[in-house]
Amino acid sequence: MNILGILTQPSAPAGVPISVDYLVVAGGGGGGNSAPFGTTASSGGGAGGLRSTVTATGGGGSLESALTLVLSTNYTVTVGAGGAGGAAGTSSNGANGSNSIFSTITSTGGGGGAEPNGGSPSGGSGGGGGENVAGGSGTANQGFAGGTGRDPGMAGGGGAGAVGSDGNTGGNGGSGGNGVATSITGSSVTYGGGGGGGTYSLYVVGSGGSGGGGNGGKPGGSAPTNGTVNTGGGGGGGDATDTGRTGGNGGSGVVILRYADTRTITIGAGLTGTESAASGGYKRATITAGTGNVSWA
């Protein structure tokens, strides 16, 4: 009771433990791009690194363990942005995605896809490599490597669940590596697909991996597509076209937290997120953008 005689709910005592499961997905890498009127396209971006305590984690690693935190204590959350696709009118690698963070857990942004003469950008999942160059490496327990680029078909970016496919000297672009499905929300959702490789002329573009990967592009046909927002999908690789296209942008990441339904989260300033209703003994907080603090009562 306060000094006005009004009954008030006591705050949760600090130091009481709470177990929190998590899915932390980083931003995907952007797809590379090629100079106009060339004969070789560019590779797809790698997916953002994926770390999870429910169903499966990235990179074929062992399932991670829930964090034991305490009530009435602030914990940092950052949702990583996707990397930009390679710039229009130039041969340029896509940018790496940005890291996502929850407390002591960091997932690494996906590697950008390579332009034809580019290297092998590494990341949470690796970007597809340049022509006859192996793809970038993934991060252990987060994602897989990208594929090797070929002329004229370029490589797919690595996914959280599989290596990106190599490009094809016959012309087709490599597919992005598939992502990883997790049921932390209460239903199975796939995250972390790699971006597909671009190609030239009338060949078949590389498709994005399951879990938000963007498709590659080709001149006179479809433009490369972006990775899906809040999946960490890699962007599709660009084509050698004269229309001012860019490589596909990587999709932003996401942080999803699961905890006992007797607890309530406070999502602080700077973060965009929602808390679900209780279901199956849990509540879930899905945080889709920003940097800030969360705490529980």
Are 177 and 161 contacting, i.e. CB atoms less than 8 angstroms apart?
A: yes
Residues 282, 233: Cα–Cα separation, whole Å? 27
151 an active-site residue? no
DSSP the chain: --TTS---PPPPPTT-EEEEEEEEEPPPPPPPB--TT-S---PPPPPPPEEESSS--GGGPPPPPPEEEETT--EEEE-PPPPPPPPTTS-BPPPPPPPEEETTEEEPPPPPPPPTT-----SSSPPPPSBT-PPPP--TTT------B-SSS-PPPP-SSSPPPP--TTSPPPPPPP-EEE-TTSS-EEE-PPPPPP--TTSPPPPPPTTTPPPP--TTSPPP-PPPTTTTPPPPP--S-SS---PPPPPP-EEEEEEETT--EEE-TTEEEEEPPPBTTEEEEEEEEEEEEEEE-
Residues 98, 225: Cα–Cα separation, whole Å? 19
Which amino acid is residue 98, in one-letter code? S
Which amino acid is residue 259, in one-letter code? Y
Of the residues 21, 151, 166, 242, which is catalytic?
242
CB atoms within 10 A of CB 106: 18
Give me the active site residues, please. Answer: 242
